[in-house]
Every structure is written in C-alpha cells, then in structure tokens.
Amino acid sequence: MKSYRVRVAVALAAAGIAVTACGGPVQAGSAAIVGQERITSSELNDEVRALRADLAANKIPEDQLRLPASLTQMVLLNISFSRQFQEFGRRKGVTATDRDIDNLATAQGGWPQFSKMLLASGIPTDRARDFLRAYVIRIRLMQQAGAGQDEASQQAAAQKVVQEADSTVPVKYSPRYGKYDPEQAIFVPDDRFGAASTAPAGGLPVGDAPAGGDAAGAAG
C-alpha cells in the first residue's frame, strides 16, 4: 500500500489506495459496475473524447502525459473512484460541499492551475468536481477511521476505509479494458486478453502524474 500522502489530489486514483475491482461478470456494454450503477462503454468513450478536447484546448499534448495507464483506463479509474466514494459517503453520512471543493482548488493554486493538473491526470473538466468531492469524502472517512499526522495511521485508516468501501460499494471492471491489479490499484497487462484494450477512443500508455502540492491537508 503506497503512502496516502500524495503530491496532488488526482494521484489518488492511481497511487495505490483507490478502488479495488471485484471478480464476476460485467454486463455487456458496461465498462464497469460500481455498486448497482453501470459505467457504460459509450459513456466512457464520450468522457475520453471530452478529455482529449480539454487537453487540446489547454495546449497539453497527449503524447507528453505521464500516467501509469492508458488515457481510457485512467478515465475509467477516475470515474469509478468518484462514484464509489460518493455513494459510500452517502451511506456513511459523510458529504463534501462545493465550498470544500473550491477551498481544495485554492490550496492547489487556484482553479486555472489546478484544472490543468486534473486534466493531465486523466480527469475531464466536466468530471473534476465529482472527483474532488469523492476525494474530500474519502479524506474525511479516513479521519473518522483514525488517520493522524503520521504515515502509519494514515495508511492504516486508508486500508480500513478502502476495504469497507469495496465491501459496501464493490467495483467490477470489464476485462475489455485490461486486468485490474488491486495491489497496484491500476490496470496491468493480461496475457489472456493481450494488451489492454483502449476501446474506440483509447489513449496512449503513459507514466507518472505531474508533481504538485500536497492536497491532503487542504481537504481536511
């Protein structure tokens, strides 16, 4: 389990303590199922196209992104994370307001700068608030679970929250998009299906998320 202390909020979906995919079949036409809610392949493709348009508008070259999975896989992970923790927070009575989200963006240098960081991490502009709402909810759940200022308590709380979220709002991914490794919290090559599918609007394999300030404290 990697450290909860990430350098930007958006790294959560790829840094090691995001969502854990469960086994079992996924309905045809679905990219993933989060609890009882489907993320359709059509919806995912639309969001990948939206992300590419946002990247172009902000002059961020797609071939210079450094993410740990394809663009399509990152968008799918980010949407899944958003929906899982918003639903889990609803069931636990934990919420995040628009003001909380704006405060988080302010702590990261303001919306213009933060939006570009989000885009470069595979989050389309129209999904930014959903993702950050889920992020703040997750931080608050971790605080309730005993996360303090030390890394050990943060990791223990993160693991507890993720395990409870996975059992309460399980996530299942279609193998069409690759094999999900819960230990790494990312898609990995799967010999059974060949290279991870990029779907009709798939992205390029990339590396690490861009550096930024630590958003954890701002969300508390």
The predicted structure's pLDDT at residue 214: 38
Find the mean pLDDT for residues 155-177: 94
Question: Which range, of 7-21, 61-75, 137-151, averages the lowest pLDDT?
Answer: 7-21
In angstroms, the Cα distances linking 138 to 24, 95, 101 are: 26, 9, 13
For the purposes of burial, counting CB atoms within 10 Å of the CB of 158, is it exposed (0-12), middle (13-18) or buried (19 or more)? buried
The predicted structure's pLDDT at residue 139: 96
Residues forming a β-bridge with 188: 179
Q: What is the pLDDT of residues 95-119, one digit of tens each?
A: 999 999 999 999 999 999 999 999 9
Supply 178's token pair: 């690759």
